[in-house]
Structure 1
Amino acid sequence: MGDLDLGDAQAEIVEQARDALFVRAHRHMEYRDEHGSANVFIEVQVQPPHLIVVGAGHIAVPLAQIGVINDFEVTVLDDRPQYAHVARFPTADRVIAGDFRTELRKLRADGKLDHHTYIVLVTRGHQYDVDCLVEVLDDPLAYIGMIGSQRRVRAVFDLLEREQGIPAAKFDRVYAPIGIDIGARTPAEIAVCIMAEIINVMRNGPARPLSQQIREERQARRERVRTERSFSRPN
């Protein structure tokens, strides 16, 4: 080992550690100089990303499978026991049958609605999706995605803003319509486009989500309102 001074290598070690965390992989580095040598091991121990699929219908089945393949901890939640059971989701880490909002609150109490969590709202009815969206909107989640057409998503956001007083900017973090546009049609294809978006968010990728058009429209509308208000103020 000798008397090697790693002071000059500290910046590189820190940078390598950050990169190892990003790619979730261990690193081994060796340093040598005239005084000796040193081996530096970086062992990455990170909490796996957590995918919560709210709704156990036809999209949820392939989505849960793809989540497991991509090393996510997978939770499936539905209020119908005939759908939310282990036989239907054998690879999921947990399958919960119960009232949507009640079970989401339990997950929150257990620390499961945090910045490692990616939540997908694909229930059997749009009102259930909206109720669950309101429930989790203030949680520090890594991702919130909700299924629905552009027309319906616009209507939902406007309704929640108008009737429940939810600030418009809060909806900027919601990926709705959910997914990346790959022309998906079947449940399995839709599951792929959803997981592609989740990975894109997790890796800070360049793909444009389906929700971006609505997000930009709403941001532009807020800017117009601010501009109009500034001009309408008395001097």
Structure 2
Amino acid sequence: MTQSFAMRWLLAFLLFCGFYVVTLTFYNRNRPVTILSADIKATLANNEWSKTIVEGTFVLRANHPNVTSYRTIHSPDYGTLVLDSMKADVYCEAFPLTSEIELNKMEGDGIELLQLFNKPLPSMWYMPLIPNYFVSRNYDDLPHFLRKRLVKRRTSLSYLDEHNVDLPAMRFQAPNYNFMSMHIVLEFPIDALPKSLKARRELNGALTDMPIEVVQNLYHVRVNKLAKSEVVRISWKRA
């Protein structure tokens, strides 16, 4: 009786493992990359808010082999994007990984940024099987064998005359892949702080207010799992 009971539990466990693997394989079949975390800082660089510097650090996991590039599109709403300011690099613990960028003009004022890696991003069959909540925590706290299979992607760019308008706002979107976590920081000049700053999540026209943490002139917005095509919109007014 005990042996039969144990065999049933073993069979149930094996069936669960098989279902888990098949489900994740199906889920990631069209997701060559998972964005485990995104840390974005937007600095309003002067009291007139006429220059904005946006810097980002993204931790990526390759779900497929032979991922050799990453694409983003940047489109100002009011001002201009400083092309010379657009930079991107990449870091990997497993092996030396470098990149170069290619910029292409899109419709309107949009700019396509292609980050081309000198080698495919590291990937292992077991990495997509590890729950995202475990690997999306602080990169530096992860075990070395996991960090070796992840990459850090860093970007920076500048806008002119994008936020010195009557109703300034910033939009952060997950256009292609889910973001497992996102931390946004807005830094304003100490002598030109905003008023009525609001952060909202938007999906299919539905809005949800989000909490904002204020530390002197820094405004923090934390997002758990930003879904594909979901938008975080931060708006404010001049005091």
TM-score by length of 2: 0.29
TM-score by length of 1: 0.30
Looking at secondary structure, tell me which structure has more strand per residue: 2
Relative contact order (C-alpha < 8 Å, sep 6+): which is higher? 2
Whose radius of gyration is greater, 1 or 2? 1
